């Protein structure tokens, strides 16, 4: 079995996660794109008011979500050193449990990246 590589006694996957969280928190907290993301998540515009900014912001959010999913897939495959098409089957409940226990609002559109939102139920 291959030895896991680590930096300063911490696995590289943890460092990648920390970088992703810090970058995401900085983007969401300190940029106009972050404010637009929270605005789009909180409100549903009427069909007449759907502008290119609203559509563009949603497109970028979905693109970032796909990028993070791809990064997670690469890290997962690097941990097990192989891949199959049904690799994540059966992990859905584990993921949902981790998200809920971590304090994420299951109602969506609320809160910062670094902890539970103040108005979560």
Residue 6, SS3?
A: strand
Residue 96 parent element (H or E): helix 92-101
pTM tops 0.75, yes or no: no
Taking CA 6 as the corner, what is the angle to CA 79 and CA 74, rounded to the nearest 5 degrees? 30
Taking CA 90 as the corner, what is the angle to CA 85 and CA 93, rounded to the nearest 5 degrees? 135
pLDDT truncated to tens, each residue of the chain (121 aa)?
Answer: 455 677 788 888 889 999 999 999 999 889 988 888 877 776 666 554 556 577 888 889 999 999 999 998 888 888 887 888 887 788 889 988 988 898 777 776 555 555 545 544 4
Residue 37, SS3?
A: helix
Report the C-alpha gap between 22 and 17 in whole angstroms.
9
How many other C-beta atoms are found inside a 10 Å radius of the C-beta of residue 48?
6
- Nearest partner of 39 among 83, 48, 49, judged by Cα: 49
Give domain limits for the chain: 6-86, 90-121
């Amino acid at each position: 079995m291959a030895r896991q590589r680590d930096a300063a006694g911490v696995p590289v996957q943890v460092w990648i996660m920390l970088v992703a969280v810090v970058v995401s928190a900085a983007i969401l907290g300190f940029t106009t794109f972050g404010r637009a993301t929270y605005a789009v998540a909180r409100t549903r515009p009427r069909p007449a008011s759907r502008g290119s900014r609203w559509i563009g912001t949603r497109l970028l959010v979905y693109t970032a979500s796909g990028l993070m999913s791809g990064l997670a897939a690469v890290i997962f495959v690097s941990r097990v050193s192989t891949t199959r098409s049904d690799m994540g089957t059966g992990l859905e409940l584990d993921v949902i449990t981790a998200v809920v226990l971590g304090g994420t609002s299951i109602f969506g559109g609320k809160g910062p990246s670094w902890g539970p939102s103040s108005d979560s139920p």
